[in-house]
């Protein structure tokens, strides 16, 4: 299925295609669900979290438009699948996950697959990771009630953030571009993510 999403999404980025095709998605889901790994749907990964469908991963990464050498912050490590996609673009990827078991599982798998440029944190993703800021790119893989102030502060001048915002059930995927103290938001389409829990997200 991953081979067939490009035309439907209008994605012509050959580097993104190559990166996604190189990542073995079936390893990031439970073995009982491996046969469904390449279908275009989200799948449970435990702890009430999901791995996003390939089309959403492709769309978000394409919209993020990372450049080689960018410093990237990912909020929501989850299964580690999106992490693996992003790791192909940057010398150092920072990723935050609230659920310790998911973070440790993702770290173990990514290290087995040879990803050595990922720095992991277990904590409140709604607050970002201030000690390494600013970031050229920020991607949030959980639905927030609004674009959080902490993440906006950690976005570099000229940087871009992709974040789903809305209620706990459905959201609008937003592209946030920073220019000085100005933040321009562009709507990319409806989406549905698990809620971003934390001080600047939703209460559990």
145 in a structural domain: yes
- CB-CB contact of 29 with 36 (8 Å): yes
* CATH number of the domain to which 98 belongs: 3.40.50.150
- Count of all residues that appear for the chain in the document: 204
Q: What tokens were used for 25?
A: 């998605």
The C-alpha angle with vertex 189 and arms to 185 and 191, in degrees rounded to 5, equals 110
201 in a structural domain: no
* Structural domains counted in the chain: 1
Provide the pLDDT for residue 121: 98
- CB-CB contact of 117 with 140 (8 Å): no
The Cα 186–Cα 37 span in angstroms is 30
| Lookup result for tokens 């081979």 | 3
Q: Which residue, among 78, 138, 123, has the nearest Cα to 103 in the 3D structure?
A: 78
CA dihedral 97, 102, 106, 109 (to 10 degrees): 170
Provide the pLDDT for residue 143: 96
10 in a structural domain: yes
pLDDT tens for the chain, residues 1 to 204: 555 666 677 777 788 888 888 999 999 999 899 999 888 889 999 888 889 999 899 999 999 999 989 999 999 999 999 999 999 888 899 999 999 999 999 999 999 999 999 999 999 999 999 999 999 999 999 999 999 999 999 999 999 999 999 999 899 999 999 999 999 999 999 999 999 999 999 997
**What are the residues facing 137 on neighbouring strands?**
72, 160
196 in a structural domain: no
Give backbone dihedrals phi and psi of 118, rounded to 5 degrees, phi first: -110, 130
Q: Which SS3 state, helix, strand or coil, does residue 14 take?
A: helix
Provide the pLDDT for residue 3: 56
Provide the pLDDT for residue 178: 98
| Lookup result for tokens 């673009």 | 89
25 in a structural domain: yes
Provide the pLDDT for residue 4: 62
Range of the domain at 33: 2-191
Q: Which residue, among 162, 163, 160, has the nearest Cα to 179 in the 3D structure?
A: 160
203 in a structural domain: no
Catalytic residues: 52
The helix (run of H) or strand (run of E) holding residue 86 is: helix 81-87
204 in a structural domain: no
Q: What tokens were used for 114?
A: 């040879």
Q: What tokens were used for 149?
A: 């102030």
């Amino acid at each position: 299925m991953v081979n067939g999403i490009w035309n439907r999404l209008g994605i012509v980025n050959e580097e993104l295609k190559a990166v996604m095709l190189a990542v073995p998605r079936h390893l990031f889901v439970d073995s009982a669900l491996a046969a469904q790994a390449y279908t275009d749907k989200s799948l449970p990964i435990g702890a009430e979290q999901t791995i996003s469908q390939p089309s959403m991963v492709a769309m978000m990464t394409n919209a993020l438009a990372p450049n080689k050498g960018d410093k990237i912050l990912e909020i929501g490590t989850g299964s580690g699948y999106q992490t693996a996609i992003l790791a192909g673009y940057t010398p150092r990827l920072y990723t935050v996950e609230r659920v310790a078991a998911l973070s440790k599982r993702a770290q173990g798998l990514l290290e087995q697959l040879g990803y050595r440029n990922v720095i992991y944190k277990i904590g409140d993703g709604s607050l970002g990771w201030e000690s390494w800021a600013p970031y050229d790119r920020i991607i949030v893989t959980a639905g927030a009630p609004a674009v959080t102030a902490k993440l906006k502060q950690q976005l570099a001048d000229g940087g871009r953030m992709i974040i789903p915002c809305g209620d706990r059930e459905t959201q609008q995927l937003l592209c946030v571009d920073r220019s000085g103290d100005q933040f321009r938001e562009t709507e990319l389409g409806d989406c549905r993510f698990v809620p971003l829990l934390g001080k600047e997200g939703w209460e559990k």
